[in-house]
Amino acid sequence: MAAVNLGSSKTAEPAVDPRETGTQLRPGLWPTINERYPGSMISKSDFVPLAKLARPLNECSVCLISSCGVHLKSDRPMDVAHPLGDFTFRRVPSYARQDELIIHQLKYPHDDADLDINVIFPIRRLQELAGEGIIGGLTKNFFSFIGYNMDPEKFETTVAEGIARAVADEEQADIALLAPA
């Protein structure tokens, strides 16, 4: 099938399947979620000054952080039943095999990620890039938590602060790659 929207005016009636257009599949997600879970969505008015890369990419240690709720099967599962969410996070060894990992999270479709974890937590792809020398390496641990947290202030002082501190101080990452779920 051809991408039939090419060259069409933005003011034209939406007549094409959004899956074919390359635009956001669920427009207006911020107000939609905020309506369902009042106070859960955050806006900021200021921009954070950009940090500079300390070294070339092929010398950089990369850290992956995901809200997909993945962890080692041997680790404590995420609490997916609490109405306010789970304000803890897990360290996932960057050398873990895919069959050592499991996803505990209910709030997004992870059927495909259960088939191939790299769909949402591309640990194997990052191991390959490190092995090929395209990136310098991986931090010892990656990080994961569940994105369902209904108290943004508590989230900021627990999960966000804890992961940010660990990525900087413990892992000493050169680049942080973040993937919401």
Partner 1 sequence: MGLIQRKIEARGIPTVSITVAKDVTAAIKAPRAVFVPWPMGHHFGAPFHAEIQRSVILTALNAVQIIEQSGVIVELSIPWAEVRRQSKALTEQGKKL
d(CA 164, CA 120): 20
Distances (CA, A) of 143 to 7, 90, 110, 167: 42, 6, 18, 9
Q: Contacting partner 1 (CB under 8 A), which of 9, 12, 15, 43?
A: 43
Per-residue string for binding with partner 1, 156-175, x by CB under 8 A? Answer: x--xxx-xx--xx----xxx
Residue 146 sits at the vertex; the CA angle it makes with 165 and 46, to the nearest 5 degrees, is 55
CA pair distance 156, 82, nearest whole angstrom:
18
Residue whose CB is less far from partner 1, 22 or 76: 22
19 binds partner 1 (CB under 8 A): yes
Task: For residue 48, state whether it binds partner 1 (rule: CB under 8 A).
Answer: yes
Q: What is the footprint of partner 1 within residues 114-143 (CB under 8 A)?
A: 115-116, 118-120, 122, 124-126, 128-129, 134-135
Q: Which residue from 14, 29, 84, 97 is in contact with partner 1, where contact means CB under 8 A?
A: 29
For the window 57-76, what string marks contact with partner 1 as x by the rule CB under 8 A? x----x--x-xx--------
- Tokens 């390959």 identify what position? 128
Among 78, 101, 130, 181, binds partner 1 (CB under 8 A): 181
d(C-alpha 110, C-alpha 119), whole Å:
9
Q: Which of 8, 14, 30, 133 binds partner 1 (CB under 8 A)?
A: 30
Burial of 66 (0-12, 13-18, 19+ CB in 10 A): buried
Which amino acid, one-letter code, is at 32?
A: T
Question: Among the candidate windows 70-78, 80-88, 94-102, 153-161, which touches partner 1 by CB under 8 A?
Answer: 153-161
